[in-house]
Structure formats: C-alpha cells, structure tokens
Chain A
Amino acid sequence: MAIEVRDVNKSFGTTPVLRDVSLDVAAGSLTALLGPSGGGKSTLLRVIAGLERPDTGTVRISGVDATRLSPQRRNVGFVFQHYAAFKHLSVFRNVAFGLEIRKRPKDEIRKRVMELLELVHLEKLADRYPSQLSGGQRQRMALARALAVEPQVLLLDEPFGALDAQVRKELRTWLRRLHDEVHVTTVFVTHDQEEAIEVADTIVVLAGGEVVQAGSPGEVYDNPANPFVMRFLGPVTEIGGSLVRPHDVEISPDPVEGGAPAVISRVVRLGFEVRVEVEIGGHEAWVQVTREQADRLGLGPGDTVHVRPAPGARSLALAV
C-alpha cells in the first residue's frame, strides 16, 4: 500500500472533522476522495501531507510511519486548489524549486524542469510569471512543480475546482493520461461525482468526516452502501418505497407484475434522452427513457402508464 490511514480523528476546536477514518491507497492507483462540501476531504488530504496533525491515528506512506514527520520530510507532492504559485518566480523557477532546495546540479535541474514542462505542455511559457498564465496553465505548472521532486504520492485538492467547465473536462482527460504515463500514486479531492467516475480507478466517499464507502467507480455506482451514496453518485428517483436510478425503471402502457400505475405529468426531451415525469399514488417520480422508446410508446401528459424497477436493477429500500 502506498498510503495507509488508520483510525484518524481530527477536530478543530470542539467540532470533529474526521472520525475514525481508515483508508488504503494502492501503489500506482488514481483515487478520488469524493464527498459533499465540508465533509472533511481537504482535511484528510492535508493530514496525509503532514500539513495538519491528526489528534489520534496513524498515517503510513510507502510502509513508513509518517504520522510525526513534517511535510518537509514526507516527500509528497501537494497541489493546492488555488495553485499556490510562487508569484515572484518564473514558471521555470517554480518547477525548479524543490530541486534547488535539494541542491541538485544546475544542468540536471534544467534538464528535468524542461522535461516536466514538456509533459504539461508549458515549455514555451517557461520564462513567464504566474500572473501571466491562465488558470489551467497555472494548475499544470503547480502539477509539474509537485512532480519535479519525484514524490512517492501526489495529492491534489480539487485540482479543477476553480476552472470553467470546458477547461475542466479537458484537464480531466489529460490528468488520466498523465497518470497512465507517470504512474505515481495519486489521490485527488473532488465534489463532482462525474469527475470521480470518469478519472479515478478507486472512489472513496467521505461525508460528515467518515468514510462511507470505498470501491471502484462501478461498485460504488451500482452497489451504493446507503441512500446517501446512491443520491450523491447519480440521479435517483423513488418508486414503490425504493430508491432507483431513473434509467433503471421500466415503463409500459399495460399493467405488469410488480408495477404501479402512474400518471404522466410532463415529458421533457433533452436531446437523446427523454425525461418522463410521473405521479404515482400522490408522489412524484421520474423515468429516463430514450427518444425512440418515448416515440414508440407515444407518451404524452395525462396518459396512465405502469412503472416498475427493471428486473435485475439495483435499488435500495428506503426505511419508512
């Protein structure tokens, strides 16, 4: 294991922020820490980096107990949400910082920094200052700076949080490719479930300071540990007292076994998908169907249909 966190507790004042958090991160993996705002994701990441000291519990990095080590000695790369660029240093000097601290020879530094700048596509901007870069470029510079010291693990706090949607998507795929190239164990924080599912090979859901579930994206999406995780990872709707994904609901004009009668209140066409809003026995639900399906069934407002969770689909019974 590259990172082993055991029974970590951390409070700020009297507010507990992490409660008995345990976490294993496999060497070479790309793990997402996913959870709602205030769930303790940043705090956990900072505990791993040594920027925050846990009240109890241990952190091991590459098998070595790092709980009492200062961040200076942990050899982790940390990328801050707002980049923490060294404003008075050029892009080159930013990336070279860790190597200069380690007193590497000048030409070795030059070679390594240029390699890294190429990796993050900033080789042409080496002499610029951070204030002359776009947000995405700064983020990539911060990444190169963290990678320069060959860290044992790379920790990214909401790496794309401050960027607009378009750049976010580009950087996401880019991060995935970069990881496949560099293979450094990486943990990144996000509160965007789509980002976690798309990029990570393991997702750890953290809420209220506790690890709620950990597993591959498929596992967490298909086998959520509780209604909270199910809601957090994708769209849900409530049918017959269970929580179901709207695309896992069957809709038919005739009564079916286990089905419930429903009245269509609205049909919304969103390109390829069609969102059918229905009323079942006084409460609202919705079903996602394809356009082709909607046309075939001739669905329209006021029609009565029958809905049921698709056989074999995962659903979670809600405690009543």
Chain B
Amino acid sequence: MPSQMAAQAAPRTVQSAAADAVLQVENLQAWYGESHILHGVNFDVRGGEVVTLLGRNGAGKTTTLKSVMGIIGKRSGSVSFEGKQIIRASSDRIARLGVAFCPEERGIFASLDVRENLMLPPQVRPGGLSLDQIFELFPNLKERLNSQGTKLSGGEQQMLAIARILRTGARFLMLDEPTEGLAPVIIQQIGKTIAELKKQGFTILLVEQNFRFASTVADRFYVMEHGKIIDTFANSDLAANMDKLHAYLGV
C-alpha cells in the first residue's frame, strides 16, 4: 500500500508548477472554418486566482475562452480542468464539470424575463449562490425580475449575465469583457463584485481591454497577440511593465 501511494505521488511533484492549476491550457489551437485563429496558446489559472487575458481587438481572447468552453468546432492541444482533459468534450459536458461562461455579447434571452434568465443555467454542482446572496451583490436585479430580459439597461444586462452563472455551483468563471461599453460607476460596481467573488473563493479568468480596470482585480496577466500568448506578469510587476503594456495594447 505505501509504495503504491508513493508511486502515485511521484509524478505530481514532477509537474508541481501545474499541480494546483484549476485550468491548464497547453498548445491550444483553434479554427473558424478554414481560418486558423489560435496558434498554440499556453497559460494556467490556479485555484482562487483572478487571471486576466489582455490583448488588442482580434488577438484571440474570446476565441480562447470559447475554445476552453468547447464552443469552437475545431480545436486541438490540451485543456485540462481540475485535472480532466476536456479538449474533446462537448460544451454541455464542460459546463457540467463546473466551468461557467459569461459571453462578450452577454447573451440575455429576449424571450425570457429576468427571473427566467437568472434561473436558466442548470445547477451543475451543489453550493451555488442563493438568490438572496445574488440580490445582495446585484440589488438592481431584484426590482426588475419580471421585466423582459433585453429591456434591461446594458449595465443591468451585464449584471444579470454574471449573476446567472453564480447560481450554478460552478467555481470557475470565465468573464469576457464584462466592462465593455459601460459607464464608470457601473464598471466600479462590477470591479467590487469580482473582488467579492474572489474573496468567496471563486477562480476567475477575465478577458479585458481595460487594463486599468483589470489591474484593480487581477492577480496575474497574460498578453495575447495574433492567437498566441506573448507575455505574462504578476499584478505586482504591473508598474515595471507599463511601457511594454502600452506598446502591446497600443494605448
């Protein structure tokens, strides 16, 4: 018995860098039809972290999230979630493993009211936030429960899009540009929410172009360009990397 356990433990120490990774992406490639979009993307996200993907328009950030989610038809490489290989899994299976996705276009359903939108994603694990906890984070939603989903303001729709994936029990969230097109006060509110979620132990992969916002919530950054990761640094090194970052993002 003891020798068997030792044999199992051995390989873990070898790949110790990735051992605590919730998500480990290696050499991820993805295609839309014939066009090759991701050319070998490598990154990881560890438990409890907020990791941000930065990059210009068209760099492949959304495609990366969609590939992890299993939405892109043609993909290759390795995506491992909590140690399980999911590169070939269907998106419904990936969701049921505990990956939650909030798309760039928010994806609020017009034929559903706010309550139905909120309740739509099925529970994939026990331990999701209760409605009361969700209304604590997003008080506006409570008053709008019976409105048609797409009658909400842009900010409210974004909150609804985040709120509905918190109910499911998934502990790993992928948020695609949650601040896009929103007023500063709403961006601030979303920043607070992300910080609160991190405090509650959620692991978050965030896509952002607004790195000023990202720097308030992220632990680490990856920079994408032309379907590849070209740089990475911790939030603490942000100041030292500011010039490079300006060059990467063209801001």
Partners in one complex: no
| Chain B residues engaging chain A, CB cutoff 8 angstroms | none
